[in-house]
Amino acid sequence: MTAKRTKAVTPLWRWQVLAAIFVLAITLTGAAPRAHPLLVVLVGGALIVGLFLLGVRAWRGLDEVAREAQKTACMWGARIGAGVNFILVLMLVVSGGAWLPAHLSPQMYVVLGIGASALPMIVAYQIYWSVWWLKRR
Amino acid sequence: MNNRLRILRAERGWSQADLADRLDVSRQSVNAIETGKYDPSLPLAFRIARLFGLTIEEVFTDEDASAAKAAE
């Protein structure tokens, strides 16, 4: 028996959580009034490169079946999530933003918007990924 | 596409995990291929066939081709 590690089908949810934290950190840093733009770019750039390298490592740890699951889930999960986002935007326009939290700074609205638009896509991706594997058990 | 993976594996007394290790794929992937719910790529199909010392046609059978042959 080989000593090498068996391939895993673990979803990339850990990297997505990390990505969400990083995106939030970058956005908040950018929203901080005293943050130097150059510092934000440097920190943000380093985080993005680090995240990309982690993603490459995770991708290489997957076999072809797991990669197929990832690709399909990314494709359809992202589309379904984008559809939900579209509906949310329409609801926002129609309601005049009545259900938005009041008294937020413009920067925080941007942060909220980024988070709110990423969430449906991540959730749809996870659901699609789970269903894909459940159907192939 | 049908395959004889489960039979070939059983003949050798391998578990799905054993086969997965030998093919460098996950156990879940072996199960998906065995049950015919995932058709492997050509490189993986060659790897499977090579592992059992068989040709691809001896491991995998094309349902459409079998049906067409039977209809003749």
Question: Is pLDDT of A5 > 60?
Answer: no
Digit-by-digit pLDDT tens for chain B (72 residues) are 899 999 999 999 999 999 999 999 999 999 999 999 999 999 999 999 999 999 999 999 987 776 777 777
- pLDDT tens per residue across span A89-117: 899 889 887 888 888 888 778 878 888 88
Nearest CA of chain A to the CA of B45: how many Å? Answer: 12
The residue-averaged pLDDT of A13-22 equals 68
Q: What is the pLDDT of residue A10?
A: 60
Closest Cβ opposite residue B28 in set A2, A4, A133: A133
Q: Which of residues 23-62 of B touch A (CB under 8 A)?
A: 24-29, 31-33, 35, 37-38, 40-41, 44
Closest Cβ opposite residue B26 in set A1, A2, A6: A6
HEC letters along chain B: CEECHHHHHHHCCCCHHHHHHHHCCCHHHHHHHHCCCCCCCHHHHHHHHHHHCCCHHHHEECHHHHHHHHHC
Who wins on pLDDT, B8 or A5? B8
Question: pTM for the full model?
Answer: 0.76
**Confidence band (pLDDT; 50, 70, 90) for A3?**
very low
Closest Cβ opposite residue A2 in set B21, B38, B41: B21
Q: Which of A65, A67, A133, A137 to mutate to test the interface with B (most CBs of B within 10 A)?
A: A65
Question: Is pLDDT of A1 > 50?
Answer: no
Who wins on pLDDT, B44 or A49? B44
ipTM of this predicted complex?
Answer: 0.82
Q: How far is A109 from A102, CA to CA, in rounded Å?
A: 10
